[in-house]
Amino acid sequence: MIENFDRLHGLPDGFFDITTANIRTLFPNPTLVQLDGRDKNFLFISILQHGNEYSGLRVMQRVLAKHARDLPRSILLFISNVRASEANLRHLPEQVDYNRCWPGTLMEPCPTSAMMRRIIEIAHGLPLFAAIDIHNNTGKNPHYACISDPSGRNQNLAAMFNRIAMVFRHKGVSTLAFDGICPAATLECGLPGNPEGIDNACRMIEELLTLEQLAVEAPAREQLHLVESHLDVYIPKHVSYEFDATADVDLRFERDIEERNFTLQDPQQVFAHTRVDRPLQVLDDDNRDVTDEVLRIEQGKIYFNQTLMPAMITRDKLVIQQDCLCHLLQDYLPHLSEA
CATH number, domain containing residue 44:
3.40.630.10
- For a pLDDT cut of 70, what percent of the chain falls above it? 98
Helical residues (DSSP H) of the chain, grouped into ranges: 55-66, 82-87, 111-124, 152-159, 174-177, 195-210, 291-294, 317-322, 334-337
Last residue of a domain, one of 207, 223, 239: 223
pTM: 0.87
Q: Rounded distance, CA 332 to CA 330, Å?
A: 6
> Are both 13 and 101 inside the same structural domain?
yes
> Are both 195 and 238 inside the same structural domain?
no
Q: Is residue 117 part of a domain?
A: yes
Number of domains observed in the structure of the chain:
2
> Are both 24 and 76 inside the same structural domain?
yes
**Do 83 and 95 contact (CB within 8 A), yes or no?**
yes
pLDDT at 336: 45
Q: Rounded distance, CA 132 to CA 175, Å?
A: 8
> Are both 55 and 97 inside the same structural domain?
yes
> Are both 217 and 240 inside the same structural domain?
no
Q: Is residue 149 part of a domain?
A: yes
Mean pLDDT of the chain: 95
pLDDT at 285: 84
The arithmetic mean of pLDDT across residues 166-193, rounded, is 94
- For a pLDDT cut of 90, what percent of the chain falls above it? 89
Q: Is residue 101 part of a domain?
A: yes
**Do 200 and 190 contact (CB within 8 A), yes or no?**
no
Q: Is residue 245 part of a domain?
A: yes
pLDDT at 335: 46
pLDDT at 337: 45
Last residue of a domain, one of 193, 223, 253: 223
> Are both 72 and 166 inside the same structural domain?
yes
> Are both 198 and 85 inside the same structural domain?
yes
The arithmetic mean of pLDDT across residues 98-125, rounded, is 96
Last residue of a domain, one of 179, 194, 223: 223
Q: Is residue 1 part of a domain?
A: no
Q: Is residue 258 part of a domain?
A: yes
Q: Is residue 115 part of a domain?
A: yes
Nearest to 115 by CA among 80, 85, 140: 80
> Are both 11 and 35 inside the same structural domain?
yes
Domain that holds residue 307: 229-337
Q: Rounded distance, CA 201 to CA 189, Å?
A: 7
> Are both 165 and 285 inside the same structural domain?
no
What is the pLDDT confidence band of residue 101, given thresholds at 50, 70 and 90?
very high
Q: Are strands 164-168 and 144-147 parallel, antiparallel or unpaired?
A: parallel
* pLDDT tens digits, one per residue of 13-40: 999 999 999 999 999 999 999 999 999 9
Q: Is residue 32 part of a domain?
A: yes
> Are both 89 and 185 inside the same structural domain?
yes
> Are both 123 and 161 inside the same structural domain?
yes
> Are both 55 and 171 inside the same structural domain?
yes
pLDDT at 339: 39
